[in-house]
Amino acid sequence: MSGNKLRVLALVHRHLVPPGAVEEGTDITNEPWRTEYDVVSTLGAMGHEVQVLPVHDDLGDIRRAGTDWKPHIAFNLLEGFDDIVIFDQNVVSHLELLKLPYTGCNARGLLLARDKSLSKKLLAYHRIRVPEFEVFRAGRAIRRPKRLTFPLMVKSLTEEASIGISQASVVDSDEKLKERVAFVHESIGTAAIVEQYIEGRELYVGLLGNQMLQAMPVWELFFTNMPDGAKRIATDRVKWSVKYQKKYGIDSGPAIEMTEAKAEGIQHLCKRAYRALELSGYARIDLRLDEAGNAWVLEANPNPQIARGEDFAASAEKIGLSYETVLQRIINLGLRWQPESVA
């Protein structure tokens, strides 16, 4: 740890301002501001001076906080601007123009990783295995190309956090395909991406770094008690409903039954994906491991969930990186990142 006390401007969604303190023993697992609370309170306890800036749709707030308080760095916990998720990259671009160092991914990496079609094209160029796919935009005919065979996975082209992902996202007929694509257009309001469904285990790998990358141990999402016939995928209930997780035995932890060599191969693959998408700071790569042992990259998540004890932090902990160390590393990477020197 640097030992330097820094002024850290925590940029948070206006509805996710964490309370200054919570009573000891309070369970905050289900609080929407949990990540914000964990980051802000931990940085404070580490001796940094932290100011929380709620952000909605006014860039002026960020600029003023920058000039008035002169933070060393902005800790970027925003996942959009004005509730438009794809504007996350624009906020980061703005920070770059203000010459205010920031944590997490650069604007270009956010853009490349966000688009599940563009990112797969880049990964495929680098010979990283990704599912075959097709994009369907609203108002255009929904015709399945022959190279895509059932079952297929239908999801939003740009949404995150398993929004709109349920058992019905996996379709096995043209009729169901049309229905689900229409659902994405109408209910989520974005273009749809249809991918080859990859049957297999669900893996996650956290990474930290700009040029030099460190991969965390391979993490696995376990489905120990799913009803017969249900697909083992991270639907929004699997990800977010504690009740559902209990009922169906959903849990995550270090990948089991995996040789050291296999795990290292997957970590190496994830570093290549991180570089191919020009990410920086920290990220989590989502993969599927099929029966034959092939790892397929589903997507890259720049600025992933970093609440204490959740997958990213827990996998770091496994190799001796405490939560405090992870946050400090994220800050140091942000301080060292030079947006102007990126090609």
Ligand X SMILES: Nc1ncnc2c1ncn2[C@@H]1O[C@H](COP(=O)(O)OP(=O)(O)O)[C@@H](O)[C@H]1O
Q: How far apart are CA 232 and CA 88, in angstroms?
A: 30
**Residue choice 103, 106, 162, 332 for contact with ligand X (CB under 6 A):** 162
115 vs 179, beta carbon nearer ligand X: 115
Of the candidates 123, 122, 89, the one whose C-alpha atom is nearest the C-alpha of residue 105 is 89
153 binds, among Mg ion, ligand X, none (CB under 5 to 8 A by kind): ligand X
**Nearest approach, Cβ of 170 to ligand X (angstroms)?**
7
Q: How far apart are CA 88 and CA 86, in angstroms?
A: 5
Residue type, 141: A
Of the candidates 208, 228, 211, 232, the one whose C-alpha atom is nearest the C-alpha of residue 317 is 208
**Residue choice 134, 202, 286, 311 for contact with Mg ion (CB under 5 A):** 286
| Residue span binding Mg ion (CB under 5 A) among the ranges 3-11, 95-103, 186-194, 284-292 | 284-292
SS3 content of the chain, % helix, strand, coil (to 5): 35, 20, 40
5 vs 247, beta carbon nearer ligand X: 247
Residues 201-240 close enough to bind ligand X by CB under 6 A: 202, 233-234
Residue 241 has phi, psi (to 5 degrees) of: -95, 110
**Residue choice 71, 131, 209, 217 for contact with ligand X (CB under 6 A):** 131
Q: How far apart are CA 101 and CA 7, in angstroms?
A: 11
In this structure, how many other beta carbons lie within 10 angstroms of the beta carbon of residue 153? 20
Residues 267-296 close enough to bind ligand X by CB under 6 A: 286, 288
| Residue span binding ligand X (CB under 6 A) among the ranges 16-24, 70-78, 94-102, 197-205 | 197-205
Q: Is 299 in the site for ligand X (CB under 6 A)?
A: yes
88 vs 286, beta carbon nearer ligand X: 286
How many residues can be counted in the chain? Answer: 343
Q: What is the DSSP string of 279-341?
A: --EEEEEEEEE-TTS-EEEEEEEES----TTSHHHHHHHHTT--HHHHHHHHHHHHHH--GGG
159 vs 286, beta carbon nearer Mg ion: 286
8 vs 153, beta carbon nearer ligand X: 153
| Residue span binding ligand X (CB under 6 A) among the ranges 102-110, 191-199, 244-252, 316-324 | 191-199
Under the rule (CB under 6 A), what is the footprint of ligand X? 131, 153, 155, 160-162, 165, 195-198, 202, 233-234, 286, 288, 298-299
Site residues, Mg ion (CB under 5 A): 286
